[in-house]
Copies of this chain bind each other. A is one copy, B any other.
Amino acid sequence: MQEFKILEKVIPLLSQSGNIAIGPGDDCAAIEFSDGDYLLAGTDQMVCGLHYFPDVDPERIGAKLLKRNLSDIASMGGSPICALLSLATTNSKLKWFERFFQGLEQEARSWGVSVCGGDLSGLPAGNLRETMSLTILGRVARDKICLRRNARSGDFLYATGCFGNSLTSEHHLEFIPRLPEGQFLAETGVRAMIDVSDGLLVDASRMAVASQVALRLDPDLIPLRPGADISGALGDGEDYELLFAVPPNLAETVEQNWKFTTRLTRIGIFEEGAGVIGRDGGNLLKDRNTGYEHQFA
């Protein structure tokens, strides 16, 4: 299934009321609920055998499901509030559920998030053990929201952390959502951000396309996770790092006030035009695996 083609067809069918400030197409939707902050809402699912192997500890599965969603709040510059879970399963082992919920709850509590509701269902007996979906709700000040469409020609592209080899290194289970970093960036004046779930190149390209600019990217500058090569760093996915655009006059402020142990690296610059361009002027997206194309908020 080519999710991209499906979304291209169905997203235009969805009309948005005036109270939906940001509809489908970013990491979260933003809703005008009151006069104050935007309400952020995002949803992200995991399927056993696709997003994790069945033998992974249930605690880590529960934690990963939440963390993927927290990463979407982080990239909007927001703070998470609460989460709702849907779980459909053929599993009947009470111990598995307890461990799954313990992992989910421990992660939630560490971020001040309440798992405030959900739905549990059976599945027809068969080859799929379980599938799960989580909706995260959060908030962000209206004038500080970060969107993938806000990059401008002349902005530098920065990245948090390292890239590639997420699966073998178990980074896809062990990552820490970049919430404090995202909030710092939003406070500091950054307005264009995305999280890297489907691969650096694909997600950077989404930012360029949404902002109607080109991106000149230097692959040699991308920090590599141990065991990763440049190709993996560009394409592997599940890095859950932040990519963000910084106007030149803000770059020094961001770099000097960066108080985190998380690595901060300038890896490219946005310019007039279209596409993602390498150092040699070639189109980096051409002939590459463009990763997973399934999320619409």
Contact = CB atoms under 8 A, between A and B. Distances in A.
Given A24-B116, A120-B294, A123-B128, A137 B47 contact: no
Interface string A12-44: 011111011001100011010111110101111
A137 B31 contact: yes
A131 B20 CA distance: 26
Q: Report whether over half of chain A's contact residues are helix, strand or loop; otherwise say mixed.
A: mixed
Total identical chains: 2
A120 B31 contact: no
Interface stretch (A83-91, A162-170, A219-227): A83-91
Interface stretch (A3-11, A248-256, A268-276): A3-11
Nearest to A12: B101
A121 interface: yes
A37 B97 CA distance: 34
A135 B28 CA distance: 13
A114 B15 contact: yes
A282 interface: no
Contact of A118 (B85, B121, B296): B296
B297 A91 contact: no
A150 to B, nearest CB: 18
A120 B41 contact: no
A105 B14 contact: yes
Q: Chain A contact residues (Cβ within 8 angstroms of B): what range?
A: 35 or more
Contacts of A41: 82, 84, 116-117, 135, 137
A98 interface: yes
Interface string A57-97: 00000000000000000000000011011101111101001
Interface in A135-165: 135, 137, 139
B1 A89 contact: yes
Nearest to A17: B114
B117 A17 contact: no
Given A24-B118, A114-B23, A88 B297 contact: no
17 contacts: A7-B120, A10-B97, A14-B108, A23-B116, A24-B115, A24-B117, A31-B137, A33-B34, A43-B119, A44-B119, A45-B88, A45-B119, A45-B133, A86-B133, A116-B297, A127-B127, A133-B133
